[in-house]
Every structure is written in C-alpha cells, then in structure tokens.
C-alpha cells in the first residue's frame, strides 16, 4: 500500500483536503466504505463516533445528485474502525478522475486495509432481478467514456500499468463466503461504466451484453482503478435497481434510489458479514 504523501500526490489531492480528513478520521482506519445512490442508510447500522459534512472540508467536491448526502461518518463495527462516504461525485457532474476517485485515494492515504464500494446499477443479465446484489469481478470502460468526464488514465499515471487482476481472488472468495453467512444470493459479473447522466440506450445495452457486461452504471470504475494502483484490496458491489428489457422503457433516478433503499437491509447484512471476516 502507498503512504499518505504518495497517495495524495498520485491523485493530486489538495493537501488541505487530506489534512482535514486525517484530522477527522485519525491517521489510520481499518476499512473505507463508499455508499452509492440510495444506500446511505448503512450508516445507521454502525456505532457512530463522529460525522462531518463534506461542505466543511476544504476543496471537497460537492455532490449535486439526490441520494448522495455528502457526509463522512467515522464509526466502528466488529472491532473495525470505519470511514463511511455517504455519497460520491460523478464525472457527469463535471468532475475529473482526481475527484470521482477521491474516496479510494483518501482510503489509501489513511492506510485502510480494505475499500468496499457500492453503487446502484442497471442489470443487463436477463437472470437478474431488481434488488439483487452483484459482486463486481471485472470492469469494462469504453474509450468514449474517457472523454466524457472521466479520464481513467489519470494524471501522472501513464507509465503505471494497471495491476491485474483488479481484484484479489482471496478477497473475492471472502466476499462470497460472507454472502453465504448472511443468507444472501450474491450475483457476480462485469461492471460496464457509462459516462451518464442519461441511462443506457437500447443499442448500448445490446453492445454491453454482447461484450459480456452484467450490470452498467455511472460511477465506481475510477475508484476501483485507483484502489488497484494503490494496492488497496477492494470489494465492489452493485445493487441491481432496474433490469434492462428489449422493449423501450423509462428509468428514473427516483426508481433507482427507491429500489436501492429497499435492498439496503441485504446490503447491510452482507457488509457486516464481510467486516467480520476481515
């Protein structure tokens, strides 16, 4: 794992931002957890030590999306010291990778032993149903997405090969065992990144399916890639909030956050089971 100074410079994080988060969270944490659209209620299941609005952190990007509260929560569960990110920012809000990947870079700066990221995603596998949880085992980022709010090469990283595999096989097995412990049916598959904010067209859905993508969304990929470059073990979970069909459909953000909220109990049981296995 890289140290605080290197992780901050790696992602060009303003020093004042890093210092403020370290003052709030302390020099180290056991795990950082990013809570995606409609999934912020997990924070109610941990023992809260303190909380901080991101608007009170110097140069921290402001989220403009409903369901992303913009709050850091310091808490504990199962003997682990946790930093929760209630919400994230996205490339389609006008932010580059240095900010969309901020939770992962901060987790590395705080010497976290694990990063757990969650998101709400559209299911492309016809066997999926709304409310399923999917363990992300690989990524697909289309070249066009890199020019639409998310430069996944990352400034200063052109000469740094992306580690493979992206996910530690042992940690993936631990996540599978945790799901079994919690009595949760855990799907698995590849996450396809879309730049957003529009939902996928039928042509994009068909392409992604042909390419082997099981769920698609507008976040998370930058965090996973940044964590991999920082040698930070990562578990990534998609909450399937809607399932793409071959006929024309309308998807709303309200639908996405509503289904995610309904699945929050399963997600909480899963995350706690993962933490118990750390």
pLDDT in tens, 15-27: 999 999 999 999 9
Peptide bond into 197 cis (omega under 30): yes
Whether the CA torsion 25, 31, 34, 38 is positive or negative: it is negative
Task: Give the model confidence (pLDDT) of 181-225 as tens digits.
Answer: 999 999 999 999 988 777 777 888 889 999 999 999 989 999 999
pTM of the model: 0.87
Domain 4-276, CATH class in plain words: alpha beta
Lowest mean pLDDT among 36-45, 102-111, 114-123, 245-254: 245-254
What is the pLDDT, as a whole number, of residue 255? Answer: 60
Q: Quick one: pLDDT band at residue 260, thresholds 50, 70, 90?
A: low
What is the pLDDT, as a whole number, of residue 98? Answer: 77
SS3 204: helix
CB contact at 8 A, 222 and 97? yes
Better-scored residue on pLDDT, 151 or 264: 264
SS3 216: strand
pLDDT at 127 over 80: yes
Q: State the catalytic residues.
A: 37, 68, 90, 92-93, 120, 218-219, 242, 253
154-191 burial string, b = 16+ CB within 10 Å, else e?
A: beebeeeeeeeebbbeebbebbeebbeebebebbbbbb
Cα–Cα–Cα angle for 179, 181, 186, nearest 5°? 20
Q: Break the chain into its structural domains and give their ranges.
A: 4-276
pLDDT at 239 over 70: yes
Measure Cα distances from 229 to 18, 112, 182, 234 in Å.
18, 14, 31, 11
Task: Give the model confidence (pLDDT) of 61-106 as tens digits.
Answer: 888 765 557 899 999 999 999 999 997 887 778 888 778 899 999 9
What is the pLDDT, as a whole number, of residue 1? Answer: 37
DSSP string, 59-106: TPPPP-STT---EEEEEEETTEEEEEEE----GGGT--HHHHTHHHHH
**Upper half-sphere CA count for residue 47 (Cβ side, 13 Å):** 6
CA distance linking residue 92 with residue 268, whole number of Å:
28
Q: Strand 47-53 and strand 133-141: pairing?
A: unpaired
CA 37 to centroid of chain Cα atoms: 10
Please tell me which of 75-79, 130-134, 158-162 the model is most confident about, judged by mean pLDDT. Answer: 75-79
| Whole-number average pLDDT of the chain | 84
CB contact at 8 A, 190 and 139? yes
């Amino acid at each position: 794992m890289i140290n605080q100074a290197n992780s901050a410079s790696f992602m060009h994080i303003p020093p004042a931002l890093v210092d403020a988060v370290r003052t709030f969270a302390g020099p180290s944490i056991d795990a950082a957890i990013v809570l995606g659209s409609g999934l912020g209620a997990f924070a109610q299941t941990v023992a809260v030590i303190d909380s901080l609005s991101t608007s009170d952190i110097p140069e921290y990007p402001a989220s403009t999306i409903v369901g992303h509260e913009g709050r850091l929560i310091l808490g504990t569960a199962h003997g682990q010291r946790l930093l929760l990110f209630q919400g994230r920012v996205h490339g389609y809000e006008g932010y580059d990778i240095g900010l969309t990947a901020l939770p992962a870079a901060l987790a590395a700066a705080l010497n976290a032993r694990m990063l757990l990221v969650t998101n709400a995603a559209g299911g492309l596998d016809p066997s999926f149903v709304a409310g399923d949880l999917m363990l992300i085992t690989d990524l697909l980022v289309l070249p066009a997405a890199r020019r639409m709010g998310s430069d996944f090469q990352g400034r200063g990283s052109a000469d740094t090969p992306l580690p493979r595999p992206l996910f530690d096989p042992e940690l993936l097995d631990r996540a599978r065992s945790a799901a079994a412990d919690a009595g949760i049916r855990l799907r698995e598959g590849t996450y396809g990144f879309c730049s957003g904010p529009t939902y996928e067209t039928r042509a994009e859905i068909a392409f992604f399916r042909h390419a082997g993508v099981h769920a698609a969304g507008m976040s998370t990929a930058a965090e996973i890639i940044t964590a991999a470059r920082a040698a930070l073990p990562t578990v990534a979970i998609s909450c399937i909030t809607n399932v793409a069909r071959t006929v024309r459909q309308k998807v709303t953000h309200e639908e996405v956050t509503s289904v995610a909220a309904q699945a929050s109990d399963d997600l909480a049981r899963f995350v706690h089971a993962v933490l118990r296995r750390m």
